[in-house]
Structure 1
Amino acid sequence: MAKKKSQPVKLTKRPAKPVPAQSLLGDLRQLIEAAREQTARAVNSTLVTMYWQIGKRIREDVLQNQRGEYGMEIVSALSAQLTVEYGKGFTEKSLWRMVQFAEVFQDIEIVAALSRQLSWSHFVELIPLEDSLKRDFYAELCRVERWSVRTLRHKIGHLLYERTAVSRKPDVLIAKDIAALRDDDRLTPDMVFRDPYFLDFLEQ
């Protein structure tokens, strides 16, 4: 009995996938990037708030608003345990920085507002500034102008605050200008104009 010849298998071509319109692709990219940015901001804000709360608790419950040998031993013990459980973000140095954070930024509402734009690394640059008005000046300008950490460090290092006319005003008026910036995102002229006397001094 003769074997039947096998028929060649016909390959059906799949329809080509339609190329998405560039406008649709662009819109989807924007949605994804916006969601990523929003998520990153939310995570950052949560972390900054947590660091502030940790610093506040240690400062009030352990140090009782003052440092002592016993308090330092407790912080060291806390750091050792937290580092084992949660990693190197809770070293003794980091915990002390959190305590400083709660000391110099005592208003949680201001911290919450700043943390929408400023990362923890921004706050690390601001914490060492001893003058509270200078610190608030840099913090609010950084928030409004969305400086990177590198830019903030550059501005501080090059004495932006001292070079502005606002730094020559009485503290009460400086605080008023900073409040206007904080509440209304409004830069007063003295925050923008450079003090000619300071510039003359630098050029001598």
Structure 2
Amino acid sequence: MSQLTHAPDALLSEIRGLIDDARRQVAQIANSALTLTYWKIGKRIGVEILGGERAAYGSQIVVSLARQLEQDYGNGFGEKNLRRMIQFAEVFPDEGIVVSLIRELTWTHFIALLPLKDPLAREFYAEMCRVERWSVRTLRQKINGMLFERTVLSKNSEEVVRQELATLRDGQMTPDMVFRDPYLLDFLGLSGAYSEKDLEAAILREMESFLLEMGSGFCFVERQKRMSVGGDDFYLDLLFYHRHLRRLVAIELKLEKFQPSHKGQMELYLRWLDKHERTVGEEPPIGLILCASADAEQVELLQLDEASIRVAEYLVELPPVAVLRERLHRAIEHARERTALAASDGEQA
């Protein structure tokens, strides 16, 4: 009887998978426990500092603790990290929220979030990290790309963002949380004059980066999707599927400013997709028109939301922070004026 020198490949692969899964689970549990410990340390030191009568007392406490803890536990408990732990507990005061976040966020994620001054921005990035499972590198890219500011700009209100974050925490995903305006496509490397075909080709070439900018859940289906209606053929630039929304997403690329006629074109595509491509259990298709610019009043009057169409601008390079913030403030003021006008009309009626 011959001796077996090698285990069957399938069995070996399965056992390796079990070991790797167990190691990942142990690492995740250890990371969560350590991050929560950091929060508790920061909370406890914060309470002690608040109990002191002099400002210098807090600094002395941190320096003294760091000196002793470094001797016992190493550099991870030095003065700089202890101050981070204190700040961690200050900006994330709710232990329940911290516990929910540490299942997906590491201590390094939180370090990247601590410098953010706006509490809503911190909450936004933390929740998006949890939902979309961003790496630390991706988180930093999103912060540097001003994703929060662009999301607020597309919603015209921080209150809307706050409401949608609450919806996300309840485990629900809506189209309003998926789509943003503008989209930052600086990774495409486009400059000078380029055509819609150049833009489409660049997106396909940099599909991984494009999907990262769009957000998690998008899956590429097809380019130049042919749709035959009567004796004519129509071609949709890009077709995606969104797993969380459970619906097809039609994307049209426009180098020009948004035109009202674009709505009719997209409506045709969406109705065709609904009739010929939508399967049982899926939600109706939704459309995104990516254009060089768009007039907010035209988009508003066309009531595109009712037609399941979104319009967003794209930027091939990130503008200065001041420029984007100024645009954000203008959009919010415009939204407030519309709200006030609607309220005034309601009172007169």
TM-score by length of 1: 0.83
User: 1:143: which partner in 2?
Assistant: 130
1:177 and 2:164 aligned: yes
Q: Distance in 2 between matches of 1:92 and 1:190?
A: 39
Structure 1 unmatched ranges of 5 or more:
1-13
Which gives a bigger RCO, structure 1 or 2 (Cα 8 Å, sep 6+)? 1
Q: CA RMSD in A?
A: 2.7
CA deviations over 1:76-112 (Å, ceiling 9, x no partner): 1011111111111111111110000001111111111
User: 2:257: which partner in 1?
Assistant: none
The structure-2 alpha-carbon separation of the partners of 1:36 and 1:188, relative to structure 1 and needing over 3 Å to count, comes to: same
Following TM superposition, by how much is the alpha carbon of 1:165 offset from its aligned partner in structure 2, in angstroms? 4.8
User: 2:319: which partner in 1?
Assistant: 202
Q: Distance in 2 between matches of 1:58 and 1:50?
A: 12
User: 1:122: which partner in 2?
Assistant: 109
User: 2:20: which partner in 1?
Assistant: 33
The structure-2 alpha-carbon separation of the partners of 1:141 and 1:171, relative to structure 1 and needing over 3 Å to count, comes to: same
The structure-2 alpha-carbon separation of the partners of 1:167 and 1:99, relative to structure 1 and needing over 3 Å to count, comes to: farther
In 2, are the aligned partners of 1:163 and 1:199 still within 8 Å (CA)?
no
Moved more, 67-76 or 154-163: 67-76
Larger Rg: 1
Residue 59 of structure 2 aligns to a residue whose secondary structure is helix
Residue 157 of structure 1 aligns to which amino acid in structure 2? N
User: 2:49: which partner in 1?
Assistant: 62
**Higher strand proportion (structure 1 or 2):** 2
CA deviations over 1:48-71 (Å, ceiling 9, x no partner): 000000000011122349981111
User: 2:61: which partner in 1?
Assistant: 74
Q: Distance in 1 between matches of 2:169 and 2:129?
A: 11
Structure 2 unmatched ranges of 5 or more:
183-292, 295-312, 324-349
**For 1:91, which of 78, 88, 91 is the aligned residue?**
78
1:112 and 2:229 aligned: no
Residue 25 of structure 1 aligns to a residue whose secondary structure is helix
In 2, are the aligned partners of 1:133 and 1:175 still within 8 Å (CA)?
yes
The structure-2 alpha-carbon separation of the partners of 1:167 and 1:113, relative to structure 1 and needing over 3 Å to count, comes to: farther
Q: Distance in 2 between matches of 1:136 and 1:167?
A: 18
Q: Distance in 2 between matches of 1:176 and 1:146?
A: 21
In 1, are the aligned partners of 2:36 and 2:99 still within 8 Å (CA)?
yes
Show structure 1 runs of 4+ deviating over 6 A. none
Residue 319 of structure 2 aligns to a residue whose secondary structure is helix
Residue 147 of structure 2 aligns to which amino acid in structure 1? L
Q: Distance in 2 between matches of 1:163 and 1:90?
A: 37
Moved more, 161-170 or 39-48: 161-170
Residue 94 of structure 1 aligns to a residue whose secondary structure is helix
Moved more, 135-144 or 160-169: 160-169
Following TM superposition, by how much is the alpha carbon of 1:142 offset from its aligned partner in structure 2, in angstroms? 1.1
The structure-2 alpha-carbon separation of the partners of 1:65 and 1:137, relative to structure 1 and needing over 3 Å to count, comes to: farther
In 1, are the aligned partners of 2:52 and 2:58 still within 8 Å (CA)?
no
Moved more, 178-187 or 155-164: 178-187
Q: Distance in 1 between matches of 2:108 and 2:145?
A: 19
Following TM superposition, by how much is the alpha carbon of 1:121 offset from its aligned partner in structure 2, in angstroms? 0.3
Q: Distance in 2 between matches of 1:129 and 1:35?
A: 35
The structure-2 alpha-carbon separation of the partners of 1:65 and 1:139, relative to structure 1 and needing over 3 Å to count, comes to: farther
- Number of residue equivalences: 191
**For 2:118, which of 131, 139, 159 is the aligned residue?**
131
Residue 46 of structure 1 aligns to which amino acid in structure 2? A
TM-score by length of 2: 0.50
